[in-house]
Amino acid sequence: MFLVSVPVGLFGTVWAYLMLEERGVRAATRIDWLGNLTFAVGLIAVLVGITYGILPYGGHTMGWTDPWVIAAIAGGIVVLALFVLIECRVWAPMFRLSLFRIRAFNAGIIAALFSALARGGLMFMLIIWLQGIWLPERGYSFSETPLWAGIFLLPLSAGFLIAGPFAGRLADRFGARPFTTGGMLVAAGSFLLLTALPVNFPYWAFALVILINGLAMGLFAAPNQTGIMNSLPPDERGVGAGMAGTFMNSSMVLSIGIFFSLIIVGLSSTLPDVLYHGLASHAVPAAYATRVAHLPPVGSLFAAFLGYNPMGTTLSPELAYLPHATAAYLTGHQFFPSLVSHPFATGIHEAFYFAAGCCLIAAIASSLRGGKYFYTEPGGAEPPGATERSVDTAQPAEEVIEVVRAG
């Protein structure tokens, strides 16, 4: 999987070098070593804490009460607060916080952050849905489910690839706001449609919904980035692009932790009883069934994600004492998916509702970005490549110039 990225990356690098035109302005500056250090330490601590928060700790299904997790997240937040203070005082900050005074930039960053929160964990949830339930119930072995899950998720990627280029071109002509706001509203609707699907869905309905989601995300992504970059003076676009990318990537990692936490909460509330009665009704000793039923749900999730049946591992000490037909059924591709389907639906619906809420917040932020806007130099000079001059209806270009230069 990773080797496939190598030729694609090489092709993209060569193509970009030959075809893309450099329109930024280079300016001599210094490296903000203290800002880089505090930002890296703070962000890594927070993200590591969130990642380990989904793992079991003690007698809990998740690790949010683990002192190390609490210390990592709290310490990371403190260091990030220190980073903000440093950026307000150094001569050449890594993050130019004054750029947030530009309305179009600020709205675009907020929209990008919440859109990434909505879609960051989506792929993982859909993969687990397919690999852990839907594909095994249709006769696919657990070892085959990773490949087929990728194939059945192609409409999601296709929608993004189809909508992205067209939306970017149209945003250059009509402005970013209609496409970013509309895209997030459609994405919120697609998440609600996912909650309406039965766990054992017909594939055409699932494909249609994820295609709509991909189209909506593609409709948002390029115009939002265009709106962010057009709002900045040429010598600040590199900084602005880096800030946007950092917020988006960090938000996607945060999204994975939130999605998994929500789905684990849903599983832990109903899965133990369902799993215990299912095992006990098939001659598994009550004591051992109780032990298996109270194993952390995250183990079952990652087992399905990695392409193997968790029952084959957890029941291995007892399989030799069970009738052959019973053992084969318990470790086959019907027992575990049928048991976990209802508890899984409870958790994944909460995750989809969260994602829909994030999309609505992103839509509101996008709608407040102002009209079509290009940064203009003093005296009315157009930025390179601009075909017409438009101003932000809420903030004149002269104010933006003064704010950016003051920063």
3-state helix, strand and coil shares in percent for the chain, rounded to the nearest 5: 75, 0, 25
CA–CA dist 11, 7 (Å, integer): 6
Residue 90's pLDDT is what?
A: 84
pLDDT at 112: 92
User: Please, is 126 exposed, middle or buried when counting C-beta atoms within 10 Å of its C-beta (0-12, 13-18, 19+)?
Assistant: buried
Looking at residue 26, its pLDDT comes to 66
Backbone dihedral region of 207: left (phi > 0), alpha (psi from -120 to 50 degrees) or beta?
alpha
Cα R_g (the chain), whole angstroms: 25
> What does the pLDDT read at residue 236?
79
Environment class of 49 (CB within 10 Å of its CB; exposed 0-12, middle 13-18, buried 19+)? buried
Q: What is the pLDDT of residue 52?
A: 85
DSSP helix/strand/coil, 392: strand
CATH architecture of 103-407: Up-down Bundle (1.20)
Helices (H), 120-153: 122-129, 135-137, 145-152
Show pLDDT as tens, one digit a residue, over the chain (407 residues).
567 778 888 888 888 888 877 665 666 677 888 888 998 999 899 988 988 888 888 777 788 888 999 999 999 999 999 998 988 888 878 888 888 888 888 889 999 999 999 988 888 889 888 888 888 888 888 778 888 988 999 999 999 989 888 887 888 788 888 899 999 999 999 999 999 998 889 999 999 999 999 999 999 988 898 888 888 887 777 788 888 888 888 888 888 888 888 888 877 777 788 888 888 888 888 888 888 877 777 777 777 667 677 787 787 777 777 888 888 888 777 788 887 888 888 888 888 999 999 999 999 999 888 766 555 655 544 444 443 333 443 444 434 434 334 44
Q: Residue 158: its pLDDT value, please?
A: 92
Residue 16 token pair: 């970009």
Q: Two tokens at 227?
A: 């709106």
Task: Say what the pLDDT of residue 394 is.
Answer: 40
Structure tokens at 269: 């509330």
Phi and psi angles of residue 60, each rounded to the nearest 5 degrees, phi first: -100, 150
b vs e for 131-151, b when ≥16 Cβ sit within 10 Å of the residue's Cβ?
A: bbbbbbbeebebeebbebbee
pLDDT in tens, 128-149: 888 888 888 888 887 788 889 8
pLDDT of residue 213: 95
Model pTM? Answer: 0.79
**Closest Cα to residue 347, out of 59, 124, 101?**
124
Return the pLDDT at 1. 57
- Cβ-based neighbour number of residue 361 at 10 Å: 18
Sorted by where each begins, the domain ranges of the chain are 29-95, 103-407
In this prediction, residue 322 carries a pLDDT of: 81
C-alpha–C-alpha distance, residues 118 and 313, integer Å: 33
- The pLDDT of residue 206: 95
Handedness of CA 133, 137, 140, 141 (dihedral sign): positive
* pLDDT score, position 373: 57
Looking up tokens 């009209």 gives 371
